[in-house]
């Protein structure tokens, strides 16, 4: 039940990322590029509050979904990055049910890692010529700000969803 | 050594690493343009759903923007009226020229094909989604191969050129924006361009400078008359792209990398943000 809900939420957020976020007044400066990672945040929540193995599997699946729908220059990039980072984070942090601040910290760290990794792979394949410093200033940090804000906003709704559904299943 | 191979997780991880590196490596070599049917189905259905969100969201965002812009509207209206009167004048001139052109074509015994070569069709298309990825500036539009879209058709807004079609599925097409152009990459393509009013100029628009937000036009001859402030249009040389579509204005001209040719920095005429409707230019006989 909970898993179905998570999949539905992920799909809606996936649609929103491509169709709604260009319209949101997120940009406070012309040259910035904000990459929404809303699905990734849901996957992180799933990893720490629902089940780790399930989170890794949906990270791969959503990653492949990105690769198929947007067909970027590198096929498999998102599947690799999302899957690897969720695996890595869940391997490093063994504790479940993190508090608000710990979770935000973990989310910040992994979002930074994700954007850096995507840049790193593009750079490795010589598909971008920007310097890392420029990318951090114009893409990674602005996206990080928006995404962390989103993850903080989602903390209470997601936890109440988890509690509500698992309570329903028991009773 | 023995223990390493006994560790199942590690082997799985390594295999995954090799698999993905190979996958990305292969896909980076060549861009596919024919998709298998599940891919087409997924792309089209997701794009359809995104289209349901994108346009209403755009209208709502535009509504709030309009309230902010209300002050500017009066002055804008004045400027538009002025352009409108000019437009009417140009229209009369154009009609006369067109008639004359037709007459001359008859006299010179042009074939039907030759007559139609500059008769471009403009298909209006709605944007359904924008790629969130930072290193791939592409948008999806709601016209596909069913509507006659083909690879490498140019896409414009009312202001000017914004990109070319890089992928086609039955109901949707992906447009690679000019901001994604780079002569170093294998998915990129050069568009031959010239100066409005002096068509002997020649240059190729191949790259976009993200730091300065300008297009780079390269391969310009040293003796070329192109100068600052000139309006750049597509030249149609090479017969792949249509001609006469506005690209932008020249900001500066300088000596290129090897000193043999010049490059020019071009400010794009079109804006690449908040796109709603775009036009796909269909070339007859393509």
Domain ranges within chain A, ordered by starting residue: 2-9+37-170
Is residue B77 assigned to a domain?
A: no
Is residue B254 assigned to a domain?
A: yes
State residue A79's pLDDT score. 93
**Chain A, chain B: beta-carbon pairs less than 8 Å apart:** 116
Q: How far is B17 from chain A (nearest CA, A)?
A: 8
Helix (H) or strand (E) holding A49, with range, is helix A38-49
State residue A113's pLDDT score. 94
State residue B1's pLDDT score. 47
Is residue B257 assigned to a domain?
A: yes
Task: Give the model confidence (pLDDT) of A139-159 as tens digits.
Answer: 999 999 999 999 999 999 998
Residue of B nearest to A26 (CA): B61
Contacts of B185 in chain A (CB under 8 A): 73, 127
What number is the average pLDDT over the span A26-44?
86
Average pLDDT of the residues of chain A: 89
Residue A75 in contact with partner chain B when CB distance is under 8 A: yes
Q: Output the domain CATH number for residue B195.
A: 2.40.10.350
Task: Give the model confidence (pLDDT) of B34-89 as tens digits.
Answer: 788 888 899 999 999 998 988 888 888 888 777 777 777 888 888 888 888 888 88
Task: Give the model confidence (pLDDT) of B92-111 as tens digits.
Answer: 889 999 889 888 888 888 77
Using the predicted structure, report yes or no on whether residue B244 has a pLDDT greater than 80.
Answer: yes
Out of B24, B54, B174, name the one closest to residue A121 (CB): B24
**Could B57 and A35 be called an inter-chain contact, meaning their C-beta atoms sit closer than 8 Å?**
no
**Could B131 and A35 be called an inter-chain contact, meaning their C-beta atoms sit closer than 8 Å?**
no
A54-58, A122-126, A141-145: segment of lowest average pLDDT:
A122-126
**Could A74 and B27 be called an inter-chain contact, meaning their C-beta atoms sit closer than 8 Å?**
yes
Is residue B171 assigned to a domain?
A: no
pLDDT band of B172, cuts 50, 70, 90: very high
Percent of the residues in chain A that have a pLDDT greater than 90, as a whole number: 60
Kindly tell me the sign of the dihedral angle through the C-alpha atoms of A86, A89, A94, A99: negative
Contacts of A80 in chain B (CB under 8 A): 16, 20, 23-24
What number is the average pLDDT over the span B163-190?
87
Candidates A73, A78, A126, partner chain B, best to mutate (most B CBs within 10 A): A73
User: Please, are residues A103 and A48 in contact by the beta-carbon 8 Å criterion?
Assistant: yes
State residue B119's pLDDT score. 78
State residue A129's pLDDT score. 83
**Could B20 and A76 be called an inter-chain contact, meaning their C-beta atoms sit closer than 8 Å?**
yes
pLDDT band of A171, cuts 50, 70, 90: low
Does ipTM top 0.90? no
Query: Nearest 5°: phi and psi at B242?
Result: -70, 165
Average pLDDT of the residues of chain B: 86
Contacts of A16 in chain B (CB under 8 A): 53
State residue B6's pLDDT score. 59
Q: How far is B199 from chain A (nearest CA, A)?
A: 33
State residue A111's pLDDT score. 95
Using the predicted structure, report yes or no on whether residue B2 has a pLDDT greater than 60.
Answer: no
State residue B171's pLDDT score. 92
State residue B247's pLDDT score. 92
Residue A99 in contact with partner chain B when CB distance is under 8 A: no
Out of B13, B128, B187, name the one closest to residue A19 (CB): B128
Percent of the residues in chain A that have a pLDDT greater than 70, as a whole number: 98
Out of B27, B46, B131, name the one closest to residue A75 (CB): B27
Is residue B230 assigned to a domain?
A: yes
**Could B134 and A35 be called an inter-chain contact, meaning their C-beta atoms sit closer than 8 Å?**
yes
Count of CB atoms situated within 10 Å of the CB of B211: 10
Residues with Cβ within 8 Å of residue B70, at least 6 apart in sequence: none
Q: How far is B212 from chain A (nearest CA, A)?
A: 9
Structure token pair of residue B278: 């775009």
| Number of domains present in the structure of chain B | 1
A124-133, B34-43, B185-194: segment of lowest average pLDDT:
B185-194
Range of the domain at B204: 191-268
Q: State CA B235 to chain mean position distance.
A: 15
Candidates A52, A59, A69, A123, partner chain B, best to mutate (most B CBs within 10 A): A69
What number is the average pLDDT over the span B228-250?
88
pLDDT band of A162, cuts 50, 70, 90: confident
State residue B116's pLDDT score. 72
B41-55, B56-70, B150-164, B239-253: segment of lowest average pLDDT:
B56-70
What number is the average pLDDT over the span A59-79?
90
Highest mean pLDDT, choosing among A30-39, A77-86, A160-169: A77-86
């Amino acid at each position: 039940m909970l898993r179905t809900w998570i999949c539905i939420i992920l799909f809606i957020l996936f649609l929103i990322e491509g169709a709604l976020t260009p319209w949101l007044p997120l940009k406070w400066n012309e040259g910035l590029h904000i990459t929404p990672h809303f699905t990734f945040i849901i996957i992180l929540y799933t990893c720490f509050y629902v089940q780790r193995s399930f989170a890794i599997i949906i990270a791969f699946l959503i990653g492949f979904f990105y690769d198929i729908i947007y067909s970027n220059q590198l096929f498999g990039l998102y599947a690799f990055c999302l899957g690897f980072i969720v695996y890595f984070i869940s391997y490093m942090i063994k504790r479940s049910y993190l508090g608000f601040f710990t979770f935000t910290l973990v989310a910040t760290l992994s979002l930074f890692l994700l954007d850096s990794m995507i840049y790193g792979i593009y750079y490795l394949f010589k598909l971008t010529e920007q310097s890392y410093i420029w990318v951090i200033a114009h893409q990674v940090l602005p996206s990080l700000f928006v995404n962390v804000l989103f993850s903080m906003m989602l903390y209470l709704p997601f936890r109440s969803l988890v509690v509500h559904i698992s309570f329903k299943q028991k009773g | 050594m023995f223990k390493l191979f006994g560790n199942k997780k590690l082997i799985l991880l390594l295999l995954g690493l090799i698999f993905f590196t190979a996958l990305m490596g292969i896909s980076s070599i060549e861009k596919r343009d024919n998709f298998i049917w599940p891919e087409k189905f997924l792309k089209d259905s997701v794009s359809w759903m995104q289209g349901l969100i994108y346009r209403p969201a755009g209208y709502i965002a535009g509504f709030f923007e309009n309230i902010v812009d209300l002050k500017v509207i009066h002055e804008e209206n004045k400027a538009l009226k002025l352009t409108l009167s000019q437009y009417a004048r140009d229209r009369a001139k154009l009609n006369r020229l067109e008639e004359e052109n037709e007459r001359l074509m008859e006299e010179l015994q042009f074939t039907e094909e030759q007559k139609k070569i500059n008769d471009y069709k403009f298909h209006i298309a709605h944007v359904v989604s924008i790629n969130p990825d930072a290193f791939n500036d592409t948008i999806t539009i709601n016209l596909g191969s069913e509507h006659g879209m083909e690879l490498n058709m140019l896409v414009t807004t009312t202001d000017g050129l914004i990109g070319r079609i890089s992928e086609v599925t039955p109901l949707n097409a992906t447009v690679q924006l000019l901001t994604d152009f780079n002569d170093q990459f294998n998915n990129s393509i050069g568009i031959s361009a010239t100066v409005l009013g002096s068509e002997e100029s020649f240059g190729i628009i191949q790259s976009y400078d993200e730091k300065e937000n300008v297009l780079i036009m390269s391969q310009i001859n040293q003796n070329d008359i192109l100068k600052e402030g000139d309006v750049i249009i597509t030249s149609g040389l090479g017969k792949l792209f249509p001609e006469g579509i506005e690209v932008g204005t020249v900001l500066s001209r300088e000596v290129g990398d090897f000193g043999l040719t010049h490059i020019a920095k071009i400010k794009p005429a079109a804006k690449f943000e908040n796109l709603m409707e775009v036009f796909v230019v269909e070339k007859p006989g393509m």
